[in-house]
Amino acid sequence: MSYPPPANTGTIDAPALWLRQDGLSERALSRIAVALSGIVLPGDCILLEGELGAGKSSFARALIRAILTTDEDIPSPTFTIVQTYETIRGPLWHADLYRIGGEDELIELGLYDALETTITLIEWPQKLALPQSAIALRVCLSYGATPMERNAGFQTPHARIAHILRQALP
């Protein structure tokens, strides 16, 4: 994965803050997710990009666990496509689009409608044509120098998110 992302990705319009941190542990990534959990709002969409096993679901799980209203299991939505949760910050949808075949499935799931009213965490977002205004944060994860490390890139046009990221990054 290249850093920063190519200008033609079409995911977030400039100006956007781009932060990168290499060599993060799973614990460090979880701390960043927990920090973000305190400011996410319904209508915020967080894109989670990266190879299989790069840590997308772990990042999502840490954020979700931090704001759940009840103690519950947080399974990967790989086979269910979408898992929904009630959180202290509002309703949250965690979607994994890896197995999505086309745009009609996303419409049938109600994902586009959910973007306006829920916090959405979307793995494999390249399968989705998102309106620019819907994207609050793009998280790009890749393998680090060792099997236990991850490199992370964060891109956001929102000052409230940029502020938390600057505080949370080691």
CATH code where residue 27 lies: 3.40.50.300
Residue 42 lies in a domain: yes
Instruction: Quote the domain boundaries for residue 135.
Output: 17-109+116-145+160-168
pLDDT tens, N- to C-terminus, the chain (170 residues): 333 333 333 344 445 788 899 999 999 999 999 999 999 999 999 999 999 999 999 999 999 999 998 888 898 898 899 999 999 999 999 999 998 888 888 889 899 899 989 999 999 998 887 777 778 899 999 999 999 999 999 999 888 899 899 899 87
Residue 14, pLDDT score: 44
Residue 71, pLDDT score: 87
Residue 139 lies in a domain: yes
Q: What pTM was computed for the model?
A: 0.87
97: nearest Cα among 86, 87, 85, 107: 107
Cβ atoms of 121 and 82 within 8 Å: the answer is no
Residue 3 lies in a domain: no
Residue 150 lies in a domain: no
Residue 15, pLDDT score: 59
Residue 26 lies in a domain: yes
Residue 136 lies in a domain: yes
Residue 36 lies in a domain: yes
Residue 35, pLDDT score: 95
Q: CA-to-CA distance for 58 and 53, rounded, in angstroms? A: 9
Task: Write the DSSP string, 106-129.
Answer: HHHHTHHHHHHHSEEEEESGGGS-
Looking at the structure of the chain, the number of domains it has is 1
Residue 73 lies in a domain: yes
Q: CA-to-CA distance for 63 and 55, rounded, in angstroms? A: 12
